[in-house]
Every structure is written in C-alpha cells, then in structure tokens.
Amino acid sequence: MGAGSRYDNEVLSALRRGDRFRSCQEVHALIADARGGPARPPSLSTVYRTLHRLAREGEVDAIHSEEGERLYRRCATSSHHHLLCRACGRAREVPHAREVRAVLARVERLTGFAELSYSLEFSGVCPDCD
Amino acid sequence: MGAGSRYDNEVLSALRRGDRFRSCQEVHALIADARGGPARPPSLSTVYRTLHRLAREGEVDAIHSEEGERLYRRCATSSHHHLLCRACGRAREVPHAREVRAVLARVERLTGFAELSYSLEFSGVCPDCD
DNA sequence: AAGGTTATGATAACCGTTTTCATTTTGACA
DNA sequence: TGTCAAAATGAAAACGGTTATCATAACCTT
Ligand SMILES: [Mn+2]
Ligand SMILES: [Mn+2]
Ligand SMILES: [Zn+2]
Ligand SMILES: [Zn+2]
C-alpha cells in the first residue's frame, strides 16, 4: 500500500513539537533545526508534498489561517473540535459536541438540504495568556 | 462619516446577484458585465480595496474557500450561520443555533479558556441539486 | 548489475492579493 | 467659481504561499 515518503516520521514528529497548527514552512524549519549536524533536511517541495498527502490520508488535520495560509496538526483520531488561543496560537482539542446533532436535524428539516455536514471551531484566550 | 468608495453601490449590487459567495475577481467581472455600454468599470485594485473595507465595516461577510480564496457575500444583519450547497455553490443563511450557547459554556468550563468565540458553518446538497 | 519505477530537489510558474506611486477626482473653503 | 489639500483610483510591480516541471537520485525487482 503506502506510497510513503522517507520523511513522514520527521514531518509528523515536527508537528508533535508544541500544541499548535503549523505551516509547511514552519515544519520545514523545525526539521532543519532538529538536525544539529551537517545532515541535509528535506527540500521545501518534499515537505509540501508530504503534508499534502498526510492530510489527504487523514493522518493530519488541515485548516486555513485567517490569512489564508494552510496549517497542519497531528490530532487524535476521535471526533473533536479545535480551540485556538488567539494570543499564543496554542491549540486544544475539545470533545465533539453532541448538541450539533439536533442542530443538523433542524437545519435539514428547515432547508431541505441533504447530506449535511458542518464545521465548528472555537477560539479564545488560554489560561496562560489570560 | 464613511470613507466610502464611489463604487460601493455597484459592488454591493453585484454581490446581490445570486445567492452565493463571490470572489473579488468575480465581483469585478459582474460589474463589468452590468455595464453594457462603453462605461469603464472600476479597476481590480479598487474592487479589492472596496470589498476589504466593506468586510471590515461589517457590511459584507467574508469566508475562505477550501482553496484559500477569499469570498464575500451580502448577509442579513442578524446572527446567522451559512449553509452552502456543495454542488452548485448556492448559499443560505440559517438562524443562529441556540444550542451553541451551552456548548460554549461547557468548553469554557472544561478548558479554562476565556473570551470564547466560535464559527459554525454548514454544507450540504440543496433541493435543486439533490 | 541492469532496468524500470518512484521520490526528491531546484527552479520556474502560478495566482490571489497587497503595495506602490503617479494621476485623477473630490470636497472644503475662500 | 478658482484654489488647493486630501482622498480615491488605476496600472503595474511586488509579494507569498503553493504547485508544476523536469532532470537527477534513490529505490526496488529481477
Ligand atoms: Mn483536529
Ligand atoms: Mn453571513
Ligand atoms: Zn495562549
Ligand atoms: Zn445546489
């Protein structure tokens, strides 16, 4: 199966450093940093390709920043929402909100739309930044 | 007051043509189309500037498409969510979901985050496309 | 080791958006 | 109504993130 990249592990472990969504270029820089020695890091192209594939495969979550940049994060497999600190950027996962089920049913009934899906994201100021 | 542009009306009326979020370039083309004659349409720069300002002033809603493009729409003033048809792109407003209040309170209690805000968007297949 | 397949790196192309700046338009006021 | 400063506009360049291209390198499989 897997048409995996030789850098999957380094990309994923860069994403695990710190609780935040990271851009492709940040991931690239993190990998370069993690290599103290003369070892050559993957090219930016490869990091773009790897993140793109990992997102398609569902290994990482992807969102768009307010500025349109694409950000990635390694997340739990269970259904969850994201909560981002507007001050420091830290991200938390919060458990799926059951209430959404009723809202979806109502929207479906009200509008006649089918195959409804949704996206629910939170932001706030984390305890450290407050 | 307003540091308004001379094209505000044309931009807003372009946004009112059809129930969909539109990109800046689409708005620009719509304005050009709406002028049959030899009248010169505003430049793309001006449309970008005008939409940017209208969004800041709250006159129009802005979202990011899945591809990162910025899309604008003239919306009702009351609190609402968006429901987009994945097939034809049509957008509807659905009334604010009261259940969100309880979810926010729970997330706040659970995480210690303050000043919570959220975004809740829906998509589906509209009756015409179904 | 040979040959075909896939991944990689360097670079250019892409594309939506913002910046720049010279020019035009506007509006306040004499 | 003429004057002039302030604001808006258009054209073009710059920007920044992302994708496409393509020659080279690494990787199998036999
Ligand atoms: Mn997630
Ligand atoms: Mn709206
Ligand atoms: Zn914080
Ligand atoms: Zn539809």
| pLDDT, averaged in runs of 10, over chain B (130 residues) | 80 96 98 87 98 96 93 93 95 97 98 97 96
Distances (CA, A) of B28 to B13, B43, B48, B79: 12, 8, 9, 28
Give the pLDDT mean for A44-72. 95
Annotated binding site of B: 85, 88, 126, 129
- Give the chain B residue nearest A113 (alpha carbons): B126
Percent of chain A at pLDDT > 70 equals 98
Q: What is the pLDDT of residue A36?
A: 76
The encoded tokens of residue B69 equal: 């493009």
Domains of chain B in sequence order: 1-75 (1.10.10.10), 79-130 (3.30.1490.190)
Nearest-10 crossing angle of helices B8-16, B44-56: 80
Contact (CB, 8 A) for B44 and B24: yes
Contact (CB, 8 A) for A23 and A70: yes
**Minimal Cβ distance to A116: which of B110, B118, B124:** B124
Give the pLDDT mean for A45-58. 97
* Reported pTM: 0.91
Whether chain B has a CB inside 8 Å of the CB on A128: the answer is no
Whole-angstrom distance, CA of residue A103 vs CA of residue B122? 10
Nearest-10 crossing angle of helices B8-16, B24-34: 100
Smallest Cα distance from A129 to chain B, Å? 9
Q: What is the pLDDT of residue B39?
A: 84
Q: What is the pLDDT of residue B3?
A: 65
pLDDT at position A9 over 80: yes
Q: What is the pLDDT of residue A3?
A: 64
Q: What is the pLDDT of residue A25?
A: 98
- Give the chain A residue nearest B110 (alpha carbons): A94
